A and B are shown apart, each in its own frame.
Chain A
Amino acid sequence: MLSVPLAAMVLVGVGSPALLFALLGGAAIVNRSLPERWTSALAAGSMLVAWAALSAAFVVTAATGAGTQLLSYGAWSSSHQGGIAIEFLVDRMSLAFAALSAAIAGIVSAFSNRYLHREPGYNRYFVLLALFVTGMLLVALAGNVEVLFIGWEFVGLSSALLVAFFLERPAPVSNALRVFSVYRISDAALLSAAVLLRHVAGTDSLSLLFGGTRPTATVDLTGPNATIIAVLLIVAVAGKSALLPFSSWLPRAMEGPTPSSAVYYGSLSIHAGCFLLLRSAPLLEHAAAARWLAGGLGATTAIFAAVTTRVQSDVKSSLAYAALTQVGIIVVEISIGWYTIAFVHLVGHACFRLLQFLTAPNVLHDLHGMEDAIGNRPSPSRSYLEAMSSERMKRGLFLIALERGFLDSLLDRFVVEPFTRVARQLTRLDEWLCDVVIPTRRPVTIEGGEDQDE
Chain B
Amino acid sequence: MSDPRLWVAGLVALPVLVIGCSFFRLDVERLRRLAVASALSMLLAAVGIAVSPGLHHLSIRSSALSWAPGGEAIIRVDTLSAVLLPFAAGLWLLTVAVTPRAALDRGGLRRTALASLITLGSFLTESAVVLLLLSVASVWTFLSALADPAHQYQRRIVGVYLGFSTLVFGLGVALLVRPGAQNTTLETAGMWLIVIAALVRKGILPFHAWVPEVFDHGRLGPAILFSAPQVGAYVTVVLIVPRASPDMLRMIAILALATAVYGAALALVQTSARRACGYLFMSQSALVMAGLDCTSASALAGGLLVWLSAGLAFAGLARCVLVLEARRGRLDLTTYHGGYERMPVLAISFLCMGLACTGFPGTLGFVGQELLVDGAIDAFPVMGFAVVIASALTGLAVLRMYFSLFCGRSDALAHTGLRFGLTRRESWTFVALVITLIGFGVVPRPLVDSRFAASDDILQLRRARMLERATAIRVVSAARAALRLASSPSQ
Q: Measuring CB to CB, which residues of chain A are less than 8 angstroms from any residue of chain B? A: 28-31, 75-84, 120, 146, 149-150, 153-154, 157, 160, 164, 167-170, 173-174, 176-177, 180-181, 184-185, 187-188, 191-192, 195-196, 198-199, 202, 204, 419-420, 423-424, 426-427, 430-431, 433-434, 437-438, 440, 442-443, 445, 447-454
B449 & A437 in contact (Cβ 8 Å cutoff)? no
Is residue B78 within 8 Å, beta carbon to beta carbon, of the partner chain? no
Interface centre among A80, A164, A198, A433, by most B CB within 10 Å? A80
Please, how many angstroms separate the alpha-carbon atoms of A191 and B391 in the complex?
10
Distance in angstroms from B414 CB to nearest chain A CB is: 9
B160 & A437 in contact (Cβ 8 Å cutoff)? yes
Please, how many angstroms separate the alpha-carbon atoms of A202 and B322 in the complex?
45
A28 & B341 in contact (Cβ 8 Å cutoff)? no
Please, how many angstroms separate the alpha-carbon atoms of A451 and B395 in the complex?
28
Additional pairs, 15, CB under 8 Å, beyond known A423-B269, A434-B157: A31-B344, A77-B445, A78-B371, A80-B298, A80-B449, A153-B360, A153-B361, A167-B408, A188-B388, A192-B385, A438-B160, A442-B217, A443-B153, A454-B95, A454-B222
B213 & A84 in contact (Cβ 8 Å cutoff)? no
Query: Chain B contacts of A31 at CB under 8 A?
Result: 344-345, 427
A423 & B388 in contact (Cβ 8 Å cutoff)? no
Distance in angstroms from B245 CB to nearest chain A CB is: 24
Interface centre among A79, A169, A437, by most B CB within 10 Å? A437
Q: Which residue of chain B is the closest to A149 with respect to CB atoms?
A: B361
Query: Chain B contacts of A29 at CB under 8 A?
Result: 345, 348-349, 352, 431, 434-435
Query: Chain B contacts of A442 at CB under 8 A?
Result: 153, 217
Please, how many angstroms separate the alpha-carbon atoms of A31 and B301 in the complex?
35
Distance in angstroms from A412 CB to nearest chain B CB is: 14
Q: Measuring CB to CB, which residues of chain B are less than 8 angstroms from any residue of chain A? A: 95, 99-100, 102-105, 108-109, 111-112, 145, 150, 152-153, 156-157, 160-161, 208-210, 212-213, 217, 219-222, 262, 265-266, 268-270, 275, 297-298, 301, 322, 325, 328-330, 336, 338, 340-341, 344-345, 348-349, 352, 355, 360-362, 366-367, 370-371, 373-375, 377-378, 381, 384-385, 388-389, 391-393, 395-396, 399-400, 403, 406-411, 427, 431, 434-435, 444-445, 448-449, 452
Query: Chain B contacts of A452 at CB under 8 A?
Result: 102-103, 219
Do A453 and B344 contact each other (CB < 8 Å), given the known contacts A423-B265, A430-B212? no
Distance in angstroms from A38 CB to nearest chain B CB is: 18
Which residue of the partner chain, among B103, B328, B407, contacts A173 with CB atoms under 8 Å? B407
Query: Chain A contacts of B409 at CB under 8 A?
Result: 168, 170
Do A188 and B389 contact each other (CB < 8 Å), given the known contacts A84-B367, A167-B407, A438-B160? yes
Q: Which residue of chain A is the closest to B359 with respect to CB atoms?
A: A153
Do A195 and B377 contact each other (CB < 8 Å), given the known contacts A29-B352, A184-B395, A454-B104? yes
B396 & A184 in contact (Cβ 8 Å cutoff)? yes
Q: Which residue of chain A is the closest to B105 with respect to CB atoms?
A: A454
A84 & B336 in contact (Cβ 8 Å cutoff)? no
Which residue of the partner chain, among B160, B431, B448, contacts A78 with CB atoms under 8 Å? B448
Please, how many angstroms separate the alpha-carbon atoms of A337 and B303 in the complex?
43
A168 & B330 in contact (Cβ 8 Å cutoff)? no
B157 & A438 in contact (Cβ 8 Å cutoff)? yes
B408 & A423 in contact (Cβ 8 Å cutoff)? no
Please, how many angstroms separate the alpha-carbon atoms of A150 and B220 in the complex?
33
Please, how many angstroms separate the alpha-carbon atoms of A195 and B388 in the complex?
9
Do A454 and B112 contact each other (CB < 8 Å), given the known contacts A199-B384, A424-B269, A438-B156? yes
Do A426 and B336 contact each other (CB < 8 Å), given the known contacts A195-B373, A437-B209? no
Interface centre among A79, A181, A187, A195, by most B CB within 10 Å? A195
B297 & A80 in contact (Cβ 8 Å cutoff)? yes
Query: Chain B contacts of A176 at CB under 8 A?
Result: 399, 403
Distance in angstroms from A454 CB to nearest chain B CB is: 3
B269 & A454 in contact (Cβ 8 Å cutoff)? no
B108 & A454 in contact (Cβ 8 Å cutoff)? yes
A453 & B221 in contact (Cβ 8 Å cutoff)? yes
Query: Chain A contacts of B262 at CB under 8 A?
Result: 426
Distance in angstroms from A54 CB to nearest chain B CB is: 21
Please, how many angstroms separate the alpha-carbon atoms of A202 and B374 in the complex?
10
B392 & A184 in contact (Cβ 8 Å cutoff)? yes
Do A445 and B330 contact each other (CB < 8 Å), given the known contacts A164-B407, A184-B395? yes
Please, how many angstroms separate the alpha-carbon atoms of A176 and B362 in the complex?
22
Query: Chain A contacts of B434 at CB under 8 A?
Result: 29
Which residue of the partner chain, among B102, B222, B395, B445, contacts A76 with CB atoms under 8 Å? B445
A447 & B367 in contact (Cβ 8 Å cutoff)? no
Interface centre among B100, B210, B330, B408, by most A CB within 10 Å? B408
